[in-house]
Amino acid sequence: MPAFQMKPIRFQKPSRVLLAAMAAVALLHTGCESLEDAFSPAVQGPFYTPANVILTGLQLPANVRRVAVLPMTTALGNQAAKNGAETIEPLLLDELAKARLFEVVRITPERLMALAGKPALRADDRLPPDLLERLSEETACHAFLFTELTVYRAYPPLAIGWKISLFSLSDGQLLWSLDEQFDAGMPSVANGARRHLRHHQATASAMLRETPILNSPASFARYTISAATETMRPLPALPKKSKEIPKEAPKPAEKPNR
């Protein structure tokens, strides 16, 4: 019986016409993306910049490398914020860690109860006299953070408000604070949210990059936390103006002797 022989399979090279068509489609797709970017408010702005911020000393001290984050609180009597806190608090801890400004140490309500006799504290509460010392000893942290969710609107236009304060554990001095409300009904806030989604949750479609964040409380919350933590960073130094050498005034022309 003759041995079975397999015939080699020959692959045909794609024609030049097909290659040209594929290149044209890719170029057209790239061109459409560039055209979308040219008119997209997520690229062109304007963008919202938090203004109600205090940053002592223009930047965080270099020795603040580890921060104790106290349990999140909500505005008194604000049931909507209270309902949203359980969802938002894990996002807060995650975004703080992503910012890489310092190591984040979560203080649970149970641990705070053991330290202060309360499961939660606000920045304007009267603190136990030994709380700072005990926090420093038990956590090896350099500062501690209060967070309060002041506004939480989970339907469009979304809105989230924050009161956040960072204090030194060595002397109790305020290092940084922010009191802001991010309302997606403001075009500049919506643009900032879209830009955040583009940079952190990019997808193939520009529409998919920009639309969901204005309908997702969780995604919008991440944007607000990221925008808040960015204000902890020092402002970029302004470029120094070069000193221009003053030019000598032109000398008046001498009158010819007559």
Domain assignment present for 249: no
**pLDDT at residue number 190:** 94
Count CB neighbours of 157 within 10 A. 14
Q: Report yes or no on 179 lying in a domain.
A: yes
* CATH number of the structural domain spanning residue 76: 3.40.50
Instruction: Quick: pLDDT tens for 186-199.
Output: 999 999 999 988 87
Can you give the three-state secondary structure of 72-126, one letter per residue? CEECCCCHHHHHHHHHHHHHHHHHHHHHCCCEEEECCHHHHHHHHCCCCCCCCCC
Q: Note the Cα 109 to chain centre separation in Å.
A: 26
| End-to-end alpha carbon distance in the chain | 129
Q: What is the mean pLDDT of the chain?
A: 82
Q: From CA 121, how far away is CA 70, in angstroms rounded?
A: 8
* pLDDT band, very low/low/confident/very high, at 104 (cuts 50, 70, 90): very high
User: Which residues fall within 8 angstroms of residue 125, CB to CB, at 6 or more apart?
Assistant: 118
Residue 141 located in a structural domain: yes
Whether 5 has a pLDDT exceeding 50, the answer reads yes
Boundaries of domain holding 135: 34-230
pLDDT attached to residue 204: 45
Q: In the chain, what is the greatest distance between 2 CA atoms, to the nearest angstrom? A: 129
* Counted domains in the chain: 1
Domain membership flag for residue 92:
yes
With residue 65 as reference, give the H or E element that holds it: none
Specify if 1 maps to a domain. Answer: no
Q: What are phi and psi of 78, to 5 degrees?
A: -95, 95
pLDDT at 241: 57
Q: Which residues of 71-109 are buried (b: 16+ CB within 10 A; e: fewer)?
A: bbbbbeebebbeebbeebbebbbebbeebebbebbbbee
Between strands 66-69 and 53-55, the pairing is: unpaired
Report if residue 2 sits inside a domain.
Answer: no
Residue 235 is assigned to a structural domain of this protein: no
In a domain? residue 168: yes
Q: Record the pTM.
A: 0.75
What is the arithmetic mean of pLDDT over 200-229? 78
Region of residue 164 (left: phi > 0; alpha: psi -120 to 50; beta: else):
beta
Per-residue model confidence (pLDDT) at position 176: 98
Asked if 215 and 153 count as a contact pair (C-beta separation under 8 A), the reply is no
